[in-house]
Amino acid sequence: MIRFEQVSKRYPGDIAALSDLTLAIESGEMVILSGHSGAGKSTLLKLIPAIERPTQGAVVVNGQNVSALKRAAVPFLRRNLGMIFQDQKLLHDRNVFENVMLPLTIAGVPPRDAGRRVRAALDKVGLLEREKAMPIALSGGEQQRLSIARAVVARPSILIADEPTAHLDDDTARDIVAVFRSFNQVGVTVLVATHHEALFAPCMTRRVTLSHGRLAP
């Protein structure tokens, strides 16, 4: 489903973020990506939606080489991916409902269907009764759940999350882990970068560790 084939990524100034990385993630897997700060976790995740392009090698998602994708094709790749960002990237001038609606508006889903799907997504993360709230009025855990609802509302087959439990207390973080697990149980491929790998231990998932841009043994 996702394959990294001898991928290297260098940033200007000759900083190597990833070196000769080869990795395959199968459909329906839940993979925890761990490693020290600066090990290349975020870079690896950014290569999948073509936010970054590899300097060498190929990144293949659903049989499509995204590293060679034309600019105009990138939006359609991203619509099939659910992304949760380290800084959440919520729109603070829109309420909970409107934030989750955005991916469906972009995809051109008719408003009536879209409204139903937004409520279904909010229900899954337990935010249904807060649909009119502004993001600023939500707690840290609720904000994270909101960003998960936005990531899954378009029913992507792949869910990518970068440090989704950062800045959350342990109980709240465990809630978030459970939400990811429930999506994985219904067949969604989940890839989570975290340095809280212990929190995900109960999920009995595959763990991939990065060290200085390479797979650690």
Partner 1 sequence: MRGWLLHHRKAAGQAVRRLAATPVSTLLGALVVGIALALPAGGKMLLTNFQSFAQHMAATPQLSVFMATEAGKKEASDVESRLRRHAQVREVRPVPREETLQRFKTSESLGNVIASLPRNPFPDAFIVVPRNEVPATLEAMRADFAKYPGVEHVQLDSAWVKKLDALLRLTRLAITLLAAVLGMALIAITFNTIRLQILTQGAEIEVSRLLGATDAFIHRPFYYFGALQGLAGGVVAWLAVLGATLLLRGPVAELASLYGIDFFLHVLPLADSALLLGLAALLGWLGAWLSLWRHLLD
Based on the shown chain and the rule CB under 8 A, indicate whether residue 145 belongs to the binding site for partner 1.
no
Check binding of 178 to partner 1 (CB under 8 A): no
Asked whether position 204 contacts partner 1 by CB under 8 A, the answer is no
Phi (first) and psi of residue 66, to 5 degrees: -75, -20
Minimum distance from CB of 99 to partner 1 (Å)? 9
Residue in 178, 195, 179, 100 with CA at minimum distance from that of residue 138 = 100
Does 136 participate in binding partner 1 (rule CB under 8 A)?
A: no
**Among 15, 24, 68, 106, contact with partner 1 (rule: CB under 8 A):** 106
CA dihedral sign of residues 177, 147, 121, 24: negative
Q: Is 213 in the site for partner 1 (CB under 8 A)?
A: no
SS3 53: coil
- Would you say how long the chain is, in residues? 217
* Residue nearer to partner 1 on the CB measure, 21 or 114: 114
Q: Are 80 and 157 in contact (CB under 8 A)?
A: yes
Nearest residue (CB) to partner 1, 112 versus 171: 112
Amino acid (one-letter) located at 97? F
**Among 83, 158, 173, 192, interactor with partner 1 by CB under 8 A:** 83
Shortest distance, position 124 Cβ to partner 1, whole Å: 18
CA gap 76, 70 in Å, rounded = 11
Q: Does 97 bind partner 1 (CB under 8 A)?
A: no
155 in contact with partner 1 (CB under 8 A): no
Structure tokens given for 139: 């707690």
- Taking CB under 8 A as the criterion, the residue among 68, 107, 137, 216 binding partner 1 is 107
Tokens standing for residue 146: 């909101």
CB 44 within 8 A of CB 35: no
Q: Site residues (CB under 8 A) for partner 1?
A: 49, 51, 72, 75-79, 83, 85, 89-92, 102-103, 105-108, 110-111, 150
